[in-house]
Protein backbone atom coordinates (compact mmCIF):
# COMPACT_ATOMS: atom_id res chain seq x y z
CA UNK A 1 0.00 0.00 0.00
CA UNK A 2 1.12 3.53 -0.73
CA UNK A 3 2.10 5.82 2.14
CA UNK A 4 -0.45 8.64 2.08
CA UNK A 5 0.87 11.96 3.40
CA UNK A 6 -1.65 14.29 1.76
CA UNK A 7 -5.32 14.46 0.94
CA UNK A 8 -5.41 17.04 -1.83
CA UNK A 9 -8.60 18.95 -2.57
CA UNK A 10 -9.24 20.22 -6.10
CA UNK A 11 -11.98 21.90 -8.09
CA UNK A 12 -12.81 20.95 -11.67
CA UNK A 13 -12.66 24.60 -12.82
CA UNK A 14 -16.20 24.28 -14.15
CA UNK A 15 -19.23 26.55 -13.91
CA UNK A 16 -21.87 25.94 -11.26
CA UNK A 17 -24.39 24.77 -13.86
CA UNK A 18 -22.07 22.04 -15.16
CA UNK A 19 -22.88 18.75 -13.46
CA UNK A 20 -19.80 16.74 -14.36
CA UNK A 21 -18.29 13.64 -12.81
CA UNK A 22 -15.72 10.92 -13.34
CA UNK A 23 -16.81 10.15 -16.92
CA UNK A 24 -16.28 13.72 -18.13
CA UNK A 25 -13.01 14.21 -16.26
CA UNK A 26 -11.74 10.84 -17.51
CA UNK A 27 -12.43 12.02 -21.07
CA UNK A 28 -10.71 15.39 -20.48
CA UNK A 29 -7.64 13.76 -18.94
CA UNK A 30 -7.36 11.22 -21.78
CA UNK A 31 -7.50 14.12 -24.24
CA UNK A 32 -4.40 15.48 -22.44
CA UNK A 33 -2.66 12.17 -23.05
CA UNK A 34 -3.08 10.80 -19.52
CA UNK A 35 -4.12 7.22 -18.79
CA UNK A 36 -7.46 8.41 -17.44
CA UNK A 37 -9.04 10.34 -14.60
CA UNK A 38 -6.29 11.56 -12.31
CA UNK A 39 -8.41 11.94 -9.16
CA UNK A 40 -9.34 9.22 -6.73
CA UNK A 41 -12.72 10.79 -6.02
CA UNK A 42 -15.01 13.29 -7.76
CA UNK A 43 -17.92 14.98 -5.97
CA UNK A 44 -20.82 15.89 -8.25
CA UNK A 45 -23.04 18.96 -7.71
CA UNK A 46 -25.68 16.82 -5.97
CA UNK A 47 -23.08 15.51 -3.49
CA UNK A 48 -22.72 12.05 -4.98
CA UNK A 49 -19.15 10.81 -4.61
CA UNK A 50 -17.82 8.94 -7.62
CA UNK A 51 -14.69 6.79 -7.51
CA UNK A 52 -12.02 7.58 -10.07
CA UNK A 53 -8.70 5.84 -9.52
CA UNK A 54 -8.56 3.33 -6.72
CA UNK A 55 -6.61 4.45 -3.66
CA UNK A 56 -3.95 1.83 -4.34
CA UNK A 57 -3.10 3.53 -7.65
CA UNK A 58 -0.98 6.65 -7.90
CA UNK A 59 -3.05 9.65 -8.91
CA UNK A 60 -2.35 12.29 -11.55
CA UNK A 61 -3.54 15.48 -9.90
CA UNK A 62 -0.59 17.42 -8.45
CA UNK A 63 2.94 17.17 -9.83
CA UNK A 64 5.51 16.01 -7.32
CA UNK A 65 2.94 14.70 -4.82
CA UNK A 66 0.97 12.08 -6.73
CA UNK A 67 2.77 9.07 -5.27
CA UNK A 68 1.88 9.91 -1.67
CA UNK A 69 -1.53 11.55 -1.93
CA UNK A 70 -5.22 10.99 -2.49
CA UNK A 71 -6.89 13.45 -4.88
CA UNK A 72 -10.46 14.67 -4.42
CA UNK A 73 -12.09 16.96 -6.97
CA UNK A 74 -15.42 18.72 -6.72
CA UNK A 75 -17.46 19.85 -9.74
CA UNK A 76 -17.38 23.63 -9.85
CA UNK A 77 -14.87 26.29 -8.93
CA UNK A 78 -15.54 28.84 -11.70
CA UNK A 79 -17.83 31.87 -11.54
CA UNK A 80 -20.17 32.91 -14.34
CA UNK A 81 -17.48 35.44 -15.34
CA UNK A 82 -14.82 32.72 -15.45
CA UNK A 83 -13.06 33.70 -12.23
CA UNK A 84 -12.14 31.27 -9.43
CA UNK A 85 -15.10 30.86 -7.07
CA UNK A 86 -16.09 28.57 -4.23
CA UNK A 87 -19.49 27.60 -5.60
CA UNK A 88 -19.84 24.23 -3.88
CA UNK A 89 -23.36 23.19 -3.07
CA UNK A 90 -24.32 22.31 0.50
CA UNK A 91 -24.48 18.67 -0.61
CA UNK A 92 -20.90 18.88 -1.91
CA UNK A 93 -19.68 20.47 1.33
CA UNK A 94 -21.27 17.69 3.38
CA UNK A 95 -19.97 14.93 1.11
CA UNK A 96 -16.47 16.41 1.09
CA UNK A 97 -16.39 16.63 4.90
CA UNK A 98 -17.64 13.05 5.24
CA UNK A 99 -15.16 11.72 2.67
CA UNK A 100 -12.24 13.54 4.30
CA UNK A 101 -13.29 12.22 7.73
CA UNK A 102 -13.36 8.68 6.33
CA UNK A 103 -9.94 9.10 4.72
CA UNK A 104 -8.47 10.60 7.92
CA UNK A 105 -9.56 7.46 9.79
CA UNK A 106 -7.67 5.30 7.30
CA UNK A 107 -4.74 7.71 6.90
CA UNK A 108 -4.53 9.52 10.27
CA UNK A 109 -1.18 11.13 9.52
CA UNK A 110 -2.33 12.62 6.20
CA UNK A 111 -2.64 16.38 6.01
CA UNK A 112 -5.56 17.90 4.11
CA UNK A 113 -4.29 20.51 1.65
CA UNK A 114 -5.64 22.43 -1.29
CA UNK A 115 -4.03 22.14 -4.71
CA UNK A 116 -2.89 25.75 -4.26
CA UNK A 117 -1.00 24.79 -1.08
CA UNK A 118 1.26 22.46 -3.07
CA UNK A 119 1.28 24.38 -6.35
CA UNK A 120 1.51 28.13 -5.58
CA UNK A 121 -0.15 30.34 -8.13
CA UNK A 122 -3.19 28.09 -8.46
CA UNK A 123 -6.54 29.21 -7.03
CA UNK A 124 -7.79 25.63 -6.89
CA UNK A 125 -9.80 24.57 -4.89
CA UNK A 126 -11.02 28.16 -4.36
CA UNK A 127 -11.50 27.86 -0.58
CA UNK A 128 -9.43 27.37 2.58
CA UNK A 129 -9.26 23.64 3.30
CA UNK A 130 -7.55 23.99 6.71
CA UNK A 131 -10.80 23.51 8.71
CA UNK A 132 -11.00 20.01 7.18
CA UNK A 133 -7.85 19.06 9.14
CA UNK A 134 -9.68 19.12 12.46
User: Would the CA dihedral through 12, 18, 19, 22 be positive or negative?
Assistant: negative
Catalytic residues: 10, 39, 115, 122, 124
DSSP helix/strand/coil, 84 = strand
Strands 41-43 and 49-51 turn out to be antiparallel
DSSP helix/strand/coil, 105 = helix
Amino acid sequence: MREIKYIVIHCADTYSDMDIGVIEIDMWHKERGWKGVGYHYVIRRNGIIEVGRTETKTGAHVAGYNSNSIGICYAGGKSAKGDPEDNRTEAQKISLANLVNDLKIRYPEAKVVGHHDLFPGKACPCFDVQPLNT
